[in-house]
Amino acid sequence: MSNRVFNFSAGPAVLPLSVLETAQRELVNYPDAGMSVMEMSHRSPPYEKIHRSAQARIRELMNINDDFTILFLQGGASLQFSMVAMNLMWPSRKADYIITGSWSKLALKEAKREGTINVAGSSEEQQFSCIPDIKTLTLDPNADYVHITSNNTIYGTQWHQLPSTGNVPLVADMSSDIMARPIDINAHGLIYAGAQKNLGPAGVTLVIVRKDLLERAPDSLPTMLNYRTFAAKDSLYNTPPCWSIYMVDLACKWLLDNGGLAAAAKRNNDKAQLIYDMLDQGDFYRGTVEKSSRSLMNVPFRLPNEDLEKKFVSEAAKLGMQNLKGHRSVGGIRASIYNAMPREGVEALVAFMKDFANRNG
C-alpha cells in the first residue's frame, strides 16, 4: 500500500485497493478450486459461478430488468462502434449520431460503413466544450437508433439529461461513466462499455441490450459479430475473458458493499466538486467545459501557460499523483477520478493545486 501512487489515468485506471488485494490473495489458488481463475475451464462450476455472479451483481447495481440481457464481449468499445451498427441498424439502415468528442466521431466513422447516418447534434463548433442542448437536436423519428457517448474522457463533458428519443432506441457508449451513477435502464436500448475505466481491467466489454433488439440482425453476420451468439449462450459461446470478468465481479461487489450506485454518485459528485470549486475560485486554473456539461469522471483544466502545465504534471508526479497530463490531442491537465479514486487522492490533488498556484500565480 505505502508506495502506491494516486493514479489519475483516464483508462486503464485506478481499481479499488481491496479488490486488488482480494485478487492477489486468490491468484494462485482460488478458494476450494486448487487452481487460479486464469487456469479454470470456462465450463467448470467455479468459473461459471463467477460468471453468473458478475451478471447478477451488474443487474442488481444498475437495476436492470428482465427485458434486458447482459453480455460480456471482447474488443473494447471500438469493436462495438461496428457491432452496434451491424446489429441494430435495421430495418431502415439509418441512425442518428450525436457528436460530443473524439470517441463519438470514431463511432460515427464505423457506423457510416453500415448505413446512412444523420448527425443529429454536435458540439464540435464549441470545441466539444459542452453537450449539445437537447432542444436543438434534429432527431429522425424513423432512425433505427440514436447513439450518444454518455461521458467524454478527452473533453471532460457528460450528459446530465438524456434526449427524448420516443420509440427510437437510445444507444449509449458508457465506457467512461458506467456505474458512476444510477441510470434509468428503460430509457436505453443498448449500453456498451469497455471495462477499463470504472468496471475492472481492460479485456472485457459490457453490453446491456434490450432483448427485442437482438432480433434485428441478419443471420448473415459473422458469428462472433452477432449479439445473438452471445445472448444464446450467456456469453459462453467461446472462451470469455475469464480473469477480466472475475475482476468486474469483484469491483461490483465492492460497489454493492459501499452502498451501490446512489452512494457512488454521491462520492463522485463530492470528489468532482472539490476540483471544480478550485477551478472556479481564482484565475490561475481555468476549466475548459461549460458548467452544465461538466463530467464527474474527467476534469480537464488549463494553467496560464504550457510551461506551467509541464511543471505541474512533473511536480505532481513526484508527489505521487500520476497521469495528470491531458490527452495528447488537447493538451492541458486532466484529472480522471473514476469510482475507485479515493477521496484522499482528490484532496491531495486539490491541496497541491492550491500550493502550486500560490507558488506560481
Number of neighbouring beta carbons within 10 Å of residue 105? 16
Count of chain residues binding a second copy (CB under 8 A): 65
Is 256 a binder of a second copy (CB under 8 A)? no
- Stretches 52-60, 199-207, 269-277, 346-354: which one binds a second copy (CB under 8 A)? 199-207
CB of 250 to a second copy, least distance (A): 11
- Stretches 146-154, 243-251, 281-289, 291-299: which one binds a second copy (CB under 8 A)? 243-251
Is 222 a binder of a second copy (CB under 8 A)? yes
Name which position in 240, 287, 300, 326 contacts a second copy (CB under 8 A): 240
Is 28 a binder of a second copy (CB under 8 A)? yes
CB of 61 to a second copy, least distance (A): 20
User: Per the structure block, which three cell numbers stand in for 349?
Assistant: 490533488
Q: In the chain, where do the E strands start and end?
A: 6-7, 68-73, 94-99, 116-122, 146-149, 151-152, 157-158, 170-173, 190-194, 205-210, 286-287, 298-302, 321-322, 333-336
Name which position in 49, 109, 266, 291 contacts a second copy (CB under 8 A): 109
Active site residue 197: yes
Order of strands, edge to edge, in the sheet holding 286-287?
Answer: 286-287, 298-302, 333-336
294 membership: H or E segment, kind and range = none
**The one-letter amino acid at 347:** E
Name which position in 48, 53, 60, 82 contacts a second copy (CB under 8 A): 82
CB of 101 to a second copy, least distance (A): 15
Name which position in 224, 236, 256, 330 contacts a second copy (CB under 8 A): 224
Is 157 a binder of a second copy (CB under 8 A)? no
Name which position in 202, 236, 330, 348 contacts a second copy (CB under 8 A): 202
Name which position in 17, 187, 263, 351 contacts a second copy (CB under 8 A): 17
Is 196 a binder of a second copy (CB under 8 A)? yes
Active site residue 94: no
- Stretches 23-31, 123-131, 263-271, 282-290: which one binds a second copy (CB under 8 A)? 23-31
Is 74 a binder of a second copy (CB under 8 A)? yes
Is 60 in contact with 203 (CB distance < 8 Å)?
Answer: no
Is 185 in contact with 62 (CB distance < 8 Å)?
Answer: yes
Residue with cell 464527474: 296
User: Per the structure block, which three cell numbers stand in for 166?
Assistant: 420516443
Angstrom CA distances, 31 to 17, 24, 152, 255, stand at 20, 12, 39, 22
Is 38 a binder of a second copy (CB under 8 A)? yes
Active site residue 103: yes
Nearest residue (CB) to a second copy, 34 versus 91: 34
Is 151 a binder of a second copy (CB under 8 A)? no
96, 144, 159, 173: which one is catalytic? 173
Start-end of H helices in 203-284:
227-232, 242-257, 260-280
Is 110 in contact with 88 (CB distance < 8 Å)?
Answer: no
d(CA 208, CA 231): 10
- Stretches 11-19, 146-154, 252-260, 349-357: which one binds a second copy (CB under 8 A)? 11-19
What is the β-pairing status of strands 157-158 and 170-173? unpaired
**HSE-up of residue 273 (Cα within 13 Å, Cβ side):** 6
Is 9 a binder of a second copy (CB under 8 A)? yes
Angstrom CA distances, 91 to 95, 116, 144, 190, stand at 10, 12, 7, 17
Name which position in 35, 56, 232, 351 contacts a second copy (CB under 8 A): 35
DSSP string, 132-198: PPGGG----TT-S-EEEESEETTTTEE-SS----TTSPEEEE-TTTTTSS---GGG-SEEEEETTTT
d(CA 24, CA 62): 27
Binding site for a second copy (CB under 8 A): 1, 3-5, 7, 9-15, 17, 20-21, 23-24, 27-29, 34-36, 38-42, 44, 74-79, 81-82, 106, 109-110, 113, 194, 196, 200-204, 220, 222-225, 237-244, 247, 320, 322-323
> What residues are annotated to the active site?
103, 173, 197
